[in-house]
Amino acid sequence: EPEVTQTPSHQVTQMGQEVILRCVPISNHLYFYWYRQILGQKVEFLVSFYNNEISEKSEIFDDQFSVERPDGSNFTLKIRSTKLEDSAMYFCASSVGQRQETQYFGPGTRLLVL
Amino acid sequence: KQEVTQIPAALSVPEGENLVLNCSFTDSAIYNLQWFRQDPGKGLTSLLLIQSSQREQTSGRLNASLDKSSGRSTLYIAASQPGDSATYLCAVRGGTGGSYIPTFGRGTSLIVHP
């Protein structure tokens, strides 16, 4: 069964460093998403991406964040200058459609900022 | 702003019991509601997706109902098994203003003991 994959599974970085989290969505899906979950808290939406542009973003997704689909398979989330509070699990998801379709989640990347 | 509440926050039951997990939301103008399962340190697995026009969805021992007008959904788990132990999340997509951004509840942490 097709699944969303994410790399790396764990990332440790120093405050102020740039990180890139990578995702490979399911191949026939058109909509891509990033979420985060700070330890012990709710899953929070960051951004949705369709047709090579951002379709929606939350208040969390500020200028420190960017997303890109550099080729036909990868979808990346870049954090330019990490802060301690960026430590969280980051989930990528994809869906065929935007509104009525099931979103399929990857296993997540656990980011720790020291 | 859409808010999602899940009750109870935690549940511990013996194997074989039938369970009801509750999810309530404040803005009834939703597109759909999705139930997920999350195992510790892992990603989200989609269980059921109910569109706003539907009343319920079933998959195996799981049945989810939706009462949009009262802002409630329930996830019914029949004949619970130890393998059902996980956190169950509901996510509501949509609300007044037409955003597709999903809002998650905090989840119900379920333990089914043999």
Using an 8 Å CB-CB cutoff, list chain A residues near B105. Answer: 42
Q: Which residue of B has its CA nearest to A93?
A: B44
Query: CA dist B101 to A18, A44, B1, B87, Å?
Result: 26, 10, 11, 21
Could you tell me the end-to-end alpha-carbon distance of chain B, in angstroms, rounded to an integer? 41
In single-letter form, the type of residue at position A56 comes to E
What value does the mean pLDDT of chain A take? Answer: 93
Residue A98 touches chain B, beta carbons under 8 Å: yes
Q: Report angle CA A48, A24, A106 to the nearest 5 degrees.
A: 75
Among A98, A105, A15, CA closest to B46: A105
Using an 8 Å CB-CB cutoff, list chain B residues near A110. Answer: 41
Among A79, A19, A70, A17, CA closest to A47: A79
Confidence at B74, pLDDT banded by 50, 70, 90: very high
The reply to whether residue A105 touches residue B51, judged by beta carbons under 8 angstroms, is: no
Q: Which residue of B has its CA nearest to A42?
A: B106
Q: How far does the CA of residue B108 sit from the closest CA of chain A (Å)?
A: 11
What's the whole-number mean pLDDT along residues A55-69?
93
CA atoms of B22 and A59, how far apart (whole Å): 28
Give the model confidence (pLDDT) of B18-55 as tens digits. 999 999 999 988 989 999 999 987 889 999 999 999 99
